[in-house]
């Protein structure tokens, strides 16, 4: 059986949701499957890189993209981890067939 993460409802989040292995935090009590799939892709990325290295890479890439695009939302959307997750969040089969370090091709 594949690990799917533990869903926690947290109204204090400043974002709709986030993954922090092994948890998925959501502002909503019943998030949709697309949201959950997006966050599960992040859990997989975190398992591959390790949580600490994932977040160091994530925020470093965010800063680089912020310099590049000069707008928070554009910087966020161009982070390789987010690009992979957004591109495949609507595919319920993606994690079954995903290659190791698949985010790499989105750099």
Q: What is the pLDDT of residues 12-36, one digit of tens each?
A: 667 889 999 999 999 888 899 999 9
Mean pLDDT along residues 36-48: 97
Cβ-based neighbour number of residue 55 at 10 Å: 13
pLDDT reading at 1 higher than 50: no
Q: What does the pLDDT look like over 69-89, one tens digit per residue?
A: 999 999 999 999 999 999 999
Beta bridge partners of 9: 26
Provide the 3-class DSSP secondary structure of residue 69: helix
Q: What angle do CA 14, 20, 22 make, to 5 degrees?
A: 140
Provide the residue count of the chain. 107
């Amino acid at each position: 059986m594949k690990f799917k993460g533990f869903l926690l409802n947290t109204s204090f989040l400043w974002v709709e949701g986030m993954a922090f292995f092994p948890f998925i935090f959501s502002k909503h009590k019943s998030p949709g499957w697309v949201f959950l799939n997006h966050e599960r892709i992040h859990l997989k990325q975190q398992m591959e890189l390790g949580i600490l290295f994932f977040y160091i890479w994530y925020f470093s890439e965010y800063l680089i993209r912020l310099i590049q695009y000069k707008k928070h939302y554009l910087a966020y959307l161009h982070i390789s981890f987010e690009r992979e997750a957004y591109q495949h969040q609507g595919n319920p089969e993606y994690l079954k067939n995903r290659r190791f370090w698949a985010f790499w091709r989105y750099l």
